[in-house]
Amino acid sequence: MEDTASSHTQSISQINNAIGTLTNNQTTFTQTSTDFNFFVSRSGTGTPSSSNLSITADGATLIGGSLTIKDANNNATVISGGKITTNNISNTAGTSWINLGLGTFNYGDKLIWNGSTLTVEGNITANSGYIAAWEITPTMIRKFT
């Protein structure tokens, strides 16, 4: 088969027909020189649903669904609407991280919470407030009674 736009269109049309027949759903593939779109619509459960995946040179867009990414150990991150569900968030170097499952974090070894101890490297500035039984004012620290 020669490599032309019409042969790609025909192949995509054949895929659309085969998937639609096998699953009794509406499935559509479209492709241009810069974009690829995949649309699925199903209503076999009584609840209509649809999703559209578009991949372009500018990035990928998923409409009407969620994106689930799993690693080799089956740990998942789900992106859906305005929400990201995951256990760990990390910078690319791994030196700063937040473990949402355990409630712990480490910001470059400068601010660390291990679940029971908060460690701060550097100065802490407070102009007013209370720490335990101590009062902090702009001019003094005194035991609060």
72 and 37 fall within a common domain? yes
* 103 vs 47, residue with greater confidence: 103
131 and 68 fall within a common domain? no
- What is the overall mean pLDDT for the chain? 77
The domain of 129 spans 95-143
Residue 90 lies in a domain: no
Domain count of the chain?
2
CA angle, 115 then 117 then 119, to 5°: 120
136 and 103 fall within a common domain? yes
End residue of a domain, out of 85, 103, 132: 85
* 78 vs 8, residue with greater confidence: 78
State the residue for tokens 């355990």. 102
- Region 59-86: mean pLDDT is 82
Is the pLDDT at 110 greater than 70? The verdict is yes
pLDDT at 1: 42
Interatomic CA distance for residues 87 and 101, integer angstroms: 5
80 and 11 fall within a common domain? yes
14 and 54 fall within a common domain? yes
51 and 100 fall within a common domain? no
Q: Which of 57-61, 79-83, 87-91, 139-143 has the lowest mean pLDDT?
A: 57-61
Helices (H), 24-125: none
48 contact partners, CB below 8 Å, separation of at least 6? 41, 42
pLDDT at 63: 74
- Region 41-62: mean pLDDT is 63
| Residue 18 backbone zone (phi > 0: left; psi -120 to 50: alpha; other: beta) | alpha
